[in-house]
Structure 1
Amino acid sequence: MDLIRVENELKKRLIYPYKWGRKQSDEWDTKTNFIYTTYNFETLLEKTAPFDEKIRNYALNRWYNFWSAEAVENLFSLHENVTSNKNKFDKLIDFTINTTCFDHKTTVFPIGFNQTVTYAKNNPDKLIQWLYLNQSQEGRKHLKNRLFIVLVDKNNEHWKLKAEVKLLKSEIDIYVQNFNSDNLFNLNIENNTILSDLIWVEN
């Protein structure tokens, strides 16, 4: 993956408002699945032109989040102790660090958590549990190992950090180089034993 090209394309999205209009759903995902094979932002705008505003925003956001996630997974794969999952349809495992399998989720710091960033850093297990119970519903929901990348922007435009591939790389590199499975959070959620962790990315 050409990470410089991906960062440039993602940043073209930043001038448009980040509005979902509704929570993610399987139905609207099906309508906008062309995002997986749309590699540049201009083509995306052409494909979404016939849509109404709500579905257009939905498609723009899905495209942005998908290609940012692809870049993140590529950044992990650059490390010798990371093995990417070759099965792209596997919703439970994106990669393995050493011998621990993870799904990865990049998320903005959630307003709904109703606590400060400082509180979350001091109580990471509380934030992790909240993220499992309140995000990734319908086809995305699972209670398996997940590694969360949490974005915090000083201007409260957290979503824009998904386009900062070089910044993401620096934090991912530090995390993977210092990875120790003994430091993971071991949680029990709805009778599921889960290993999880947070990577903070801030500007």
Structure 2
Amino acid sequence: MTTLNFSQLDNLFRNDDFPSIENDTRGIRFLKLRSMSRNETMREFCHLHNIDINHLQVRQYFSHLFNFEYITDEQINNFIIQKYNQEREIRRLNEESLVDQLSRLQHFDWGGSFGNSLEKNIVNNYVKRIQSFDRINEEIEGSLLSSLRGYTLNSWYNHWTSILIEDLFKDHTNVLPTVGLVKKIDFFINNIPFDLKVTYFPEQLLAQKLQARGYGNELTRLKRVCRQLNIFIPNDLKDKQLKLHLYNKVSEDPRDEARLFITDLKHHKREIISEAEENPEELKVWFYENQGEARFDASNRFFLVLTDEADLTNSWKLKRNIVFLREKINEHLNNIILDIERLNTEFYWAKNQRTYNCKSDILFIKQTENI
């Protein structure tokens, strides 16, 4: 193992080189202090342990504590747990009410915005394309308002469900939380830092796997069965919207041909997801290599993959099913054995043509059909 100074470790952190940090004798100490590096938190910790920092500038607090040899890892851990419990108690009092509010969202629809980039959508599809004052006002009151509402509601839902799910992990005795919101680290498991990513099985990869199985294109198959059953196919929807629309229509059709089609499609998707669960390396690498460029990093990640096997399009609802999630997450953490070899992940980022190494874990949580 190496023994690096503060500046060297800080540089490694900024360059997403977590393996080198974890291989250092004081690397985990650096990351734990980094997770509590807000100024007021640092001042509170120093006051608690009678550490004089009056002569220091604010930006020197972190490095000073890191190099303060009389502070032990146990003291750092105990303070982090204490601070987390204080913050958690406030959230716990409001948890039932928050879950109730989140349960009022009936449809998870971005409202036509492209991805999560509302500003890019507005500039490219309204500002730069429309010259008429009257028409752009009509669009603001119509499709743009719908886009804004969908973007805001979905972002609101994702934000608060992510906090709820993070708390489910941090509440467990095998997990050391962080203090406040810290980029790249949400918690430590067996002294390994992880950034939690709550997600679903990616549609793009699912489509590729269906093709590889010889199933073909899902939308093409849906159109074919609709023609066979004389189900109307509209021509005013984009492919993604059309696929969901036709899937719902076929799902609701009582005829045997429709039922067999949906049963067969679900069977293929379940098998693909089960295969990924048994051999998750490909999926973990896929998540890293297909992350958004604006938020790219190569930090250690814990992927929580949520799946409603009755209807994949409803998987988003699992994020607010706290009782179910708590049971499954605790079951996993109660029996967790972090095999370092299994966690080691290598991926290639095409944008800068660089290979990264990190650690990642994955937990699939599935809700099966009611029988």
TM-score range, shorter chain: 0.7 to 0.9
What are the equivalent positions in structure 2 for 1:72-151 lying under 5 Å apart? Answer: 72-88=165-181, 90-114=182-206, 115=209, 116-138=272-294, 140-151=295-306
CA offsets, 1:2-49, max 9 Å, x none?
332222121111x13423522124958xxxxxxxxxxxxxxxxxxxx9
Local SS of the residue matching 1:80: coil
> Scaled by the length of structure 1, what TM-score is found?
0.80
| Cα pair 2:168 2:329 within 8 Å, conserved | yes
Structure showing the higher helix proportion among its residues:
2
Note if contact 1:148-1:199 (Cα within 8 Å) is conserved in structure 2: yes
Corresponding position of 1:53: 146
Q: Distance between the aligned counterparts of 1:135 and 1:188, measured in 2?
A: 14
- Which of the pair is proportionally richer in strand? 1
The CA deviation at 1:110 is 1.2
The 5-angstrom pairing of residues 3-18 of structure 1 reads 3-13=95-105, 15-18=106-109
Using the alignment, how far apart are the partners of 1:57 and 1:8 within structure 2? 19
- Rounded to whole Å, the distance in 2 between the matches of 1:91 and 1:5 is 27
Q: Which stretch has the larger CA shift, 128-137 or 144-153?
A: 128-137
SS at 2:110 equivalent = coil
Gaps of 5+ in 2: 1-90, 121-140, 210-271, 349-354
Match of 1:174 among 318, 331, 336: 331
Aligned to 1:181, the other structure's residue is in SS state coil
- TM superposition shift of 1:164: 0.8
Distance 1:26 1:100 in 2: 35
Moved more, 154-163 or 177-186: 177-186
Q: Taking CA–CA contacts closer than 8 Å with sequence separation of 6 or more, which of the two structures ends up with the larger relative contact order?
A: 1
Q: CA deviation at 1:65?
A: 0.7
Compute the displacement of 1:167 (Å).
1.2
Amino acid at match of 2:320: A
The amino acid that maps onto 1:146 is R
Amino acid of the residue matched to residue 186 of structure 1?
N
Corresponding residue of 2:345: 187
- Residues 199 and 303, structure 2, Cα contact 8 Å, conserved in 1: yes
Q: 1:198, CA displacement in angstroms?
A: 1.2
Alignment-derived partner of residue 45 in structure 1: none
Q: Show the counterpart of 1:37.
A: none
1:199 is aligned to: 363
Q: Tell me whether 124-133 or 172-181 shows the greater mean CA deviation.
A: 172-181
Contact persistence 2:303–2:362 (CA under 8 A): yes
- Where do 5+ consecutive residues of structure 1 fail to align? 29-48
Change in Cα spacing, 1:136 to 1:81, as seen in structure 2 (3 Å) is farther
With normalisation by structure 2, the TM-score equals 0.45
1:171 Cα deviation from its structure 2 partner: 1.3
Paired-residue identity, % = 31
CA distance 1:137–1:23, shift in 2 (3 Å): farther
Change beyond 3 A, Cα 1:163–1:180: same
Partner of 1:158: 315
Contact 1:167 1:201 in 2 (8 A): no
Task: Give the aligned CA root-mean-square deviation in angstroms.
Answer: 2.2
Q: Does 1:63 align with 2:156?
A: yes
Q: In the aligned structure 1, how far is the partner of 2:277 from the partner of 2:325?
A: 18
Equivalent position SS for 2:199: strand
Q: Which of 66-75 and 109-118 deviates more? A: 109-118
CA–CA separation in structure 1 for the residues paired with 2:287 and 2:185: 17
In structure 2, C-alpha distance between the alignment counterparts of 1:168 and 1:67, rounded to whole Å: 15
Describe the shift of the 1:58–1:129 C-alpha distance in structure 2 as closer, same or farther (beyond 3 A): same
